[in-house]
Amino acid sequence: MKEVLFQKIEAQKERLWEMADFIFDHPEYEGKEYQAADLLTSYLEQNGFQVERGIAGYETAFRAVYENGTGGPSIGILCEYDALKGMGHACGHHMQGPACLGAAVAIKELAGETPFKLTVYGTPAEETLGAKCDMVKKGCFLELDAAFMMHGSPTTCTDVKCLADRSFEVVFHGKGAHAALAPEKGKSALDGLLIAFNGIEFLREHVPDDTRMHYTMTELPGPANIVPARAVGKFSLRSFSRTNLELVVERFYDIVKGAALIAGVEYEIHPKSDFYNKIPVLKLNRLLMENAELAGAPRLSPPRERTGSTDFGNVMYEIPGSCIRVAFVPEGTASHSQEFLDAGKSQAARDCVLYGAKSIAGACWDLIGTPGLMEEVKREFAENKKKFK
């Protein structure tokens, strides 16, 4: 059956490649991915999926459902299609939609007597807004028993843990004055920001080992002879444990408040991102890797034990999930790089679409057709949520 399943993906390959090339050639960003969303949803409708567009408050987010009978597992396949501002598809998101659609259509065409529900979610603005975070809060994905994604990569592998991330913009408001003639009349907003930076440095001694804290000044304060009336900084706090991160965030708020008191200025804190850590489900990782091997994907590698932050973490914090990373660029190539961009329409990228589709389709087929497997996945998820929360 896997051979037939993979053949049904191969039968779609020219159309899948056309879609990937079109999305690559027409990069769109930040929830405005109109052409990509229309292309993907039209293909799903043509292949018998019930499509709902503009979900969760995002014009380019969508949900496409195919239900085979009633009951059975409910499986989701999530795809991204946004590009990087100023670079285009230097992260390979143009391959995700076609790969996910290829998998979904193949499963639908091979549907037999076993009941299942298959949902393709279109998730925009991963690079900028982290739309999945908001979509989870609005009830998306929560009906699923498990969710899969794919991503282009230097090696074919899965991930275990990722960093939870809370980021903030902090604005200090002081009082401008001439620094030489009337410094006593000024209150330096820049002093407040610099004291906050120093407060973070003192905090480093008192946080768990996996905590990451970084910051930058996002606006220049002005000439040296003027007491700055405004200063703006960006702070990012990360940990592999969302629970531990919240304790760090509490200390961060105190640091900003204390910095403002020392400088005699006012402040505003604007939360920006809130990415959760993944709850790993190694059974799902193994399913994807077994099917990637069966499909002949290149450079099979051990899982990445620790990775950065992603809005897919917010999904995997609530339901079992996994993402297969499929090799299409040389080992050591960084994402968001010119090398990633240059490889976007290569034969390796085309192959990546098919390997990703086959890995996901095979894993979905295993969950649909193997009695008790989904229950094992759910048990592991529940156990790991106690460990990794």
Q: Say which CATH number the domain at 98 has.
A: 3.40.630.10
Residues 116 and 186 in one domain: no
265-275, pLDDT tens digit by residue? 999 999 999 99
**Domain residues for 197?**
164-272
Residues 142 and 73 in one domain: yes
Tokens of 292: 């990637």
Judge contact between 168 and 252, C-beta under 8 A. yes
At which of 272, 288, 309 does a domain end? 272
At which of 245, 272, 299 does a domain end? 272
Residues 343 and 285 in one domain: yes
Q: Say which CATH number the domain at 208 has.
A: 3.30.70.360
Residues 121 and 62 in one domain: yes
Scan for tokens 């106690």, then name that residue: 386
Residues 294 and 311 in one domain: yes
Residues 226 and 320 in one domain: no
140-179, pLDDT tens digit by residue? 999 999 999 999 999 999 999 999 999 999 999 999 999 9
Residues 240 and 298 in one domain: no
How many percent of the chain have pLDDT more than 70?
A: 100
Assign 237 to helix, strand or coil: strand
Helix (H) or strand (E) holding 104: helix 96-109
Residues 332 and 233 in one domain: no
Which is nearest to 59 in space by CA: 87, 76, 82, 43?
Answer: 82
**Type of residue at 267:** Y
Positive or negative torsion for Cα 379, 385, 64, 351 = negative
| 306, pLDDT greater than 90 | no
Instruction: Give residue 326's region: left, alpha or beta (phi > 0; psi -120 to 50).
Output: beta
Tokens of 57: 């408050």
37-89, pLDDT tens digit by residue? 999 999 999 999 999 999 999 999 999 999 999 989 999 999 999 999 999 99
Residues 118 and 133 in one domain: yes
Residues 171 and 264 in one domain: yes
Judge contact between 156 and 325, C-beta under 8 A. yes
Q: What are phi and psi of 357, to 5 degrees?
A: -60, -45
At which of 214, 246, 272 does a domain end? 272
pTM of the model: 0.93
Judge contact between 59 and 123, C-beta under 8 A. no
Residue 298 has a pLDDT of 98
